[in-house]
Amino acid sequence: MASQQRPADPGDNPYRFLPKVDQVLLDPAWSQAQERFGSEPFAGWVRETLDAWRARIADGTWDAAAVRAALENGGFTQDLRARLAREQRRGVRPAINLSGVVLNTGLGRAPVHAEAAERMAQAAGGYSILEVDRDSGQRNQRDQRLGELLARLTGAEAGIAVNNNAAAVLLLMHAFSKGREAIVSRGELVEIGGSFRVPEVLESAGARLVAVGATNRTRIADYQRAIVNTTGLLLKVHTSNYRLVGFTEEVPAREMAELGRTRGIPTAWDLGSGRIEAPGAQALDRVGDETVVRDAVASGVDVVTFSGDKLLGGPQAGLIVGKREAVATLRRCPMYRALRLDKVALAGLEATCELLLAGRGDELPTRQMLLMEAEATGERCQAVQAALQTIPGVHVTIVPSSSQPGSGSAPTVELPGFALQLRVDGWKAQELAQALRRADPAVFSRVQENVVWLDPRTLMPGELEGLCQAVRSIAPGA
């Protein structure tokens, strides 16, 4: 490592005092850590820690005396421990979502109802009756019951479940348009977050995309003209996080369904967000004009697809409901076996659907968050403010704000409410937000106008103490 300054006396060379990698690796104090994480990654973190020290020397922050003092104070051990602690906190861990995005894909989208979570834990921790009939002992379909529940919720004849909605669309394309044409409106050839691009999915399924109409206007005659002998599918896609406004026209699903029926071509509608309205539960119309799954089914298209973890408020899944025959075709497709849903998600979805059918939809956490009145978010702000402002160096202000549904559901909708602006002495906004993410528990805020905003709409029961703990851990004097 080349030193910038060239010290006259080699005893002043600060690099000389840095521990050697091999020396650290052989130190018995670190043997347990090496066993636990593996010696190769551990050696990497030692190098990383040393690099950070070298950088402090190189930029003139530390001279030889400072390096020696830091070593004597156990600074190197501390830094390496901190690096190990960071490693231990990687992976899927709990987080407090105060980002203002209810269905936050980065934070796992929908938190499920406690009863659904319990059923999921049971399914994960033991055997379950998954794919066998308990009366006859014969194999059956794992998503048969879920399909029935979905059918009741949406007015469809049948339902089937796969890993996520992207998988649902992929399955449609394999089953109906592999080696054939799929007709889609140019206005609907969208990319939906995380590189799910309709044209590419079609292509990967071996379907030939036939784009019809113009970006802003497509009419039923455009579909009609494009139909050939080998047309396998007429597909309608919800444009999710993208919206055309102004001089636009899209073909109503009813007309597309009618055309498909008269020409003997299957029709599908990828709804994405999957808004379900259930008896005894408040309507989700405040969350925008998302099409209700029941209405999409009633339009007469053969199948409708949507996510389990968007507006439905369940675990990750792709749900397909529609005509019995079309669903049976999907089930027979070899792709289904590769895309089918796991028992944990199935258990959670059954529980979620049962709650909705039992008139308990208002208990679902995501529906509560989406429908929370501005006033209630204000009350939450006051409770959070009261707790946080007892911490020295912490300043909290309540301000009007708005949250978003997220996950491409109702992209233009703002859910009005209140949020907290958090300032902590000695911290700039971006660094504060990062420190909160790194805290234990991890807290996700948003930075807006150079201030950290905490949106309490998505604060889950029992999380206030964790939030205080996280803020306390970075407050001055912590």
Question: What is the contact surface with ligand PLP in residues (CB under 6 A)?
Answer: 164-166, 169, 192, 196, 237-238, 240, 270, 272-273, 307, 318, 407-408
Q: Nearest Cα to 451, choosing from 473, 467, 430?
A: 430
DSSP string over 168-216:
HHHHHHHHHHTTSEEEEEGGG--EETTTEEHHHHHHHTTPEEEEES-SS
Q: Whole-number minimum distance, CB 21 to ligand PLP, in Å?
A: 43
- Residue with the two structure tokens 């002992």: 137
Q: For residues 278 and 294, what is the distance between their CA atoms, to the nearest angstrom?
A: 10
Q: Name which of 290 and 455 has its Cβ closer to ligand PLP.
A: 290
Q: Whole-number minimum distance, CB 313 to ligand PLP, in Å?
A: 13
Q: For residues 372 and 306, what is the distance between their CA atoms, to the nearest angstrom?
A: 24
Q: Whole-number minimum distance, CB 309 to ligand PLP, in Å?
A: 7
274 Ramachandran zone, left/alpha/beta (phi>0; psi -120 to 50): left
Q: Whole-number minimum distance, CB 172 to ligand PLP, in Å?
A: 11
Q: Name which of 232 and 272 has its Cβ closer to ligand PLP.
A: 272
Q: How many CB atoms lie within 10 A of CB 136?
A: 8
318 burial via Cβ count (<10 Å: 0-12, 13-18, 19+): buried
255 Cα distance to chain centroid: 34
Q: Whole-number minimum distance, CB 159 to ligand PLP, in Å?
A: 15
Q: Whole-number minimum distance, CB 156 to ligand PLP, in Å?
A: 18
Find out whether 156 and 209 touch, Cβ atoms under 8 Å. Answer: no
Q: Name which of 272 and 361 has its Cβ closer to ligand PLP.
A: 272
Q: How far apart are the first and last CA of the chain?
A: 36
Q: Whole-number minimum distance, CB 345 to ligand PLP, in Å?
A: 11
Q: For residues 325 and 403, what is the distance between their CA atoms, to the nearest angstrom?
A: 41
Q: What are phi and psi of 381, to 5 degrees?
A: -60, -45
Q: Whole-number minimum distance, CB 28 to ligand PLP, in Å?
A: 48
Q: Whole-number minimum distance, CB 241 to ligand PLP, in Å?
A: 8
All residues at 6 or more sequence positions from 8 whose CB lies less than 8 Å from its CB, including other chains? none
Q: Whole-number minimum distance, CB 191 to ligand PLP, in Å?
A: 10
Q: Name which of 149 and 345 has its Cβ closer to ligand PLP.
A: 345
Q: Whole-number minimum distance, CB 181 to ligand PLP, in Å?
A: 20
Q: For residues 318 and 169, what is the distance between their CA atoms, to the nearest angstrom?
A: 8
Q: 212: which strand partners?
A: 185
- What does the block give as tokens for 90? 């990687």
Q: Whole-number minimum distance, CB 270 to ligand PLP, in Å?
A: 5
Give the SS3 label for residue 253: helix
Q: Nearest Cα to 204, choosing from 235, 162, 236, 174?
A: 174
Q: Name which of 305 and 401 has its Cβ closer to ligand PLP.
A: 305
Q: Name which of 102 and 237 has its Cβ closer to ligand PLP.
A: 237
Q: Name which of 159 and 466 has its Cβ closer to ligand PLP.
A: 159
Q: Name which of 118 and 191 has its Cβ closer to ligand PLP.
A: 191
Q: Name which of 45 and 269 has its Cβ closer to ligand PLP.
A: 269
> Is residue 66 within a helix (H) or strand (E), and if so which, with residue range?
helix 64-72
- What does the block give as tokens for 300? 């007469």
Q: Name which of 166 and 355 has its Cβ closer to ligand PLP.
A: 166
367 burial via Cβ count (<10 Å: 0-12, 13-18, 19+): buried
Q: Name which of 83 and 238 has its Cβ closer to ligand PLP.
A: 238
Q: For residues 385 and 367, what is the distance between their CA atoms, to the nearest angstrom?
A: 25
- What does the block give as tokens for 459? 């604060």
Q: Name which of 149 and 192 has its Cβ closer to ligand PLP.
A: 192
List Cα–Cα distances, 153 to 64, 96, 274, 358, in angstroms.
71, 31, 11, 11
Q: Whole-number minimum distance, CB 216 to ligand PLP, in Å?
A: 19
Find out whether 126 and 344 touch, Cβ atoms under 8 Å. Answer: no
Find out whether 412 and 240 touch, Cβ atoms under 8 Å. Answer: no
Q: Name which of 143 and 270 has its Cβ closer to ligand PLP.
A: 270
- Residue, CB closest to ligand PLP: 272
* Cα angle 289, 293, 297; round to 5: 125
